[in-house]
Every structure is written in structure tokens, then in C-alpha cells.
Amino acid sequence: MSLQHSLLVLLSESPATGYELSQTFKKGVGYFWKASHQQIYLQLKKLSEVGWLEFVIEVQRGKPDKKIYQITEAGKAVLNAWLSSEVKPPKTNDALLVMIYGGKHVKPDVLIKEIERHKSIHSKGLKKLLDIETLYLSLSDDEKKKYRLPYLTLRRGISGEQSWLVWAEEVLIELMSD
């Protein structure tokens, strides 16, 4: 299960709470890994039980206490082993493509509308990624070096979205041509 590995990777940078990790998945690395807060809390619990993470509790008033998770030596060992292993390419289940594939049963405008909706989602996604890229490019050479690998994954996100949008344009032109 790779959500566990994703959590280990993020926590190998610095300790964090489940909530913070959840935000990171949503805003930071969401372009290559999605996870709900429920799954995150569950897996953090499991990772603690096997001893790959440990946590300290920060008492709060009015809110539930914070659990600040930290990777253990055992966790680091597991992470390093995983980083040298073979991983599966992501499995794709793309409902929009299923829809287009079987789209002859509905009028083209129905498809066009839904594709436009996805276009705006992808455009927003791309914009966000480009903003992060701008931020990265403004860093000093030293800091750029530090974030070199995350930046490469960001590049995947950016070119993936761009490629999607180019395709969508082609599809819309084709669908509107009749």
C-alpha cells in the first residue's frame, strides 16, 4: 500500500500532524497522490502500531489534541528499502473517457458541456502548478538544488495537464464540427 510510503516520504522531511499531511496532499502533492483525511488518519495509526512512526501529543483547548507524527529509525529503513524497489505504474480509471467512448448515445452538446467542465478543472489545476513553479524558479541556486527532485515531479504534473488541455481542444473542435 503506497499511501503508507507517501506518508513516510513526507514525514522523512519533517514531523507533521495528520491534518497538515492532509493539507499537503490536497494542496501540495495532490497532482500525483490523492488521499482523504480518513485514510490518512487510519494509515498513520497503523504505521505507529508497527513502529515506523511515533507521535507526541500537543494538548490544545477547544480543539482535539494534536498528534505530531515523526518517522522512526525503523521507518527510515522501510522507506529506504521501498525507494529501491519496483513500483507499479498508476492504474487509470478515467470516467470521462468512458463517457466519450460510449457517447454516441447522447447528443454531442452533452459531451461538449462535460468536457468544458473538466477543461476548467484542469485549467485551474495547471494554474496552481505553474504558480508553484514560478516560486521554485525564483529560489536561489542552493535552494533549487534542494528541491530538485520534487520539482521534477511538478514538471510531470505541469506537462500532464498541458497535454490534457491540448487534447481537449482537439476533441472540442472535432465534436463541434457537425
Partner DNA sequence: TAGACCATGTAACAAGTTACATGATTGC
Partner DNA sequence: GCAATCATGTAACTTGTTACATGGTCTA
Using CB under 7 A as the binding rule, whether residue 70 contacts DNA is answered as no
- Taking CB under 8 A as the rule, does residue 162 contact a copy of itself? yes
Among 131, 159, 169, 176, binds a copy of itself (CB under 8 A): 159
Q: Which helix (H) or strand (E) holds 109?
A: helix 108-137
Span from 51-59, 127-135, 136-144, 153-161 in contact with a copy of itself (CB under 8 A): 153-161
* Angle in degrees, CA 164, 154, 17, rounded to 5: 120
Q: Would the CA dihedral through 71, 74, 76, 81 be positive or negative?
A: negative
Residue 105 as a binder of DNA (CB under 7 A): the answer is: no
Q: How far apart are CA 15 and CA 71, in angstroms?
A: 7
Q: Cβ closer to a copy of itself: 41 or 151?
A: 151
* Near a copy of itself by CB under 8 A: residue from 49, 88, 138, 141: 88
When the beta carbons of 45 and 103 are compared against a copy of itself, the nearer one is: 103
Residue 5 binding DNA, by CB under 7 A: no
- Contact segment (CB under 7 A) with DNA among 16-24, 70-78, 134-142, 143-151 equals 16-24
Q: Which does 65 bind (CB under 5 to 8 A by kind): DNA, a copy of itself, none?
A: DNA
**Calpha distance 25→23 (Å, rounded):** 5
Spell out a b/e string for 132-150, using b for 16 or more CB atoms within 10 Å of the CB, else e.
Answer: beeebeeeeeeeeeeeeee
